[in-house]
Amino acid sequence: MTLLCRDCFHVADTDSQTCPACGSGRVVAHPSLRDLSVAHIDCDAFFAAIEKRDNPDLKDKPVIVGGGERGVVLTCCYIARLYGVRSAMPMFQALKLCPQATVVKPSRNKYTEAAAIVRDKMEALTPLVQPVSIDEAYLDLSGTENVHRSLPAASLARLAAEIERDLQITVSIGLSSNKFLAKTASELDKPRGFAVIAPEEAEALLAPRPVGFLHGVGPKFAARLAQDGFETVGDIQQAELKALIGRYGETGMWLKQVAHGIDRRPVRTDEERKSVSAETTFRIDLSEPAALEDQLWKLCVKTADRAKAIGVVGSVITLKLKTADFKPLTRRVSLPEPTQIAQAIFRAARPLLEKETDGRKRYRLIGVGISELEDYRADASDLLDPLVAKRARAERASDAARAKFGKDAVITGRAARMADKDKS
């Protein structure tokens, strides 16, 4: 058994439950500790932690960061979570659960400044840092042992200690052989945790967990899986791959892989992209709802093509409009599952557009985009709309045909009508 002390960073091969160098009981012990180098780091209750750091009076109080009574919870401290408060919960509901909570409006400049310091410290360890959001990232520390003269696990423990010393906030660390297992590990020991999952133990660890435990399986998809008889990850492990693909398409293949702890995605170092979008300014202001809807569809296709090209999906759809007198309008909606499919983007954005068009109000610009980006893994299934996966497969088949035979090889009825209108 390899032991790492999180206080003095001593590494030893021992069965002891305490550090042989300093006697600390705050240790990480795992037989594969010397072999693993992919990590997920997550700042604990980041926004709330910054607010508590800057106002010591809040230290032992439940804190919610968010808007007014009609707003939502951006994040909350772990004390507030004991009362059932969660991120994205309506504020009125959060305050019913925890009426004694202190509500703090977000201070984004402070959060951005702290996040930049954390990222600098990560990049001092390895150039392979992939931010996921403002407060979490994947790191690949392969090959850094000679540079830092320490195991990746020890370098990570030092990093956590530095962040706590310099910023007075804590982080949780997951260490494994791939991104999925590293993310899973970081969720096991919060806050201020350090958990390790070796690939050979992944199946046994995941098997008894509910399917919603798998990162990437949202509540709606978990409900559909349970309805289909897959209540635990073990149920998915025992299922035939062919049957899963037949029922869920590409998502079935992804499910089978992650249920066994398999994830072949590398830690990417591309510059972090916040959104993917497309917009157009009209030569003549438009007011007719049908004409605006046609333009929206074209932009949804462009946005989807760009998202597919870089391999991302988004869970927030944003509609952008600018009136004839240059007044900007922005409307957003969150999806239950992220997408890069034009049809899905259009079906979410069209109701937003309908609310802003009455045949009289004129617009000079329209745009649409996706944000809250993640790596694409497979097309989501929707419990309330079983045809969503079918539409996704049809769109991807059309993409393949256009790539092989040209952009006019396959066109939708809407696109054909728009082309005829352009010719007339």
Strand partners, 314: 339, 373
Query: Nearest 5°: phi and psi at 129?
Result: -120, 125
Provide the CA 80 distance to its chain's centre, in angstroms. 23
Asked if residue 47 lies in contact with residue 35, where contact means CB atoms within 8 angstroms, the answer is no
- Please report, in angstroms and rounded to a whole number, the separation of the first and last CA atoms in the chain: 77
- 200 part of the active site: no
Classify burial at 305, counting beta carbons within 10 Å of its beta carbon; exposed 0-12, middle 13-18, buried 19 or more: middle
- Cα torsion at 234, 239, 243, 244 (round to 10°)? 20
CA distance 380 to 389: 7
CA distances from 157 to 274, 285, 314, 387 (A): 29, 59, 32, 47
H helix or E strand, kind and range, residue 330: strand 328-339
Q: Which regions of 346-424 does DSSP assign to beta strands (E)?
A: 363-375
Q: One of 51, 136, 337, 395 is an active-site residue; which one?
A: 136
Q: Catalytic positions, please? A: 136
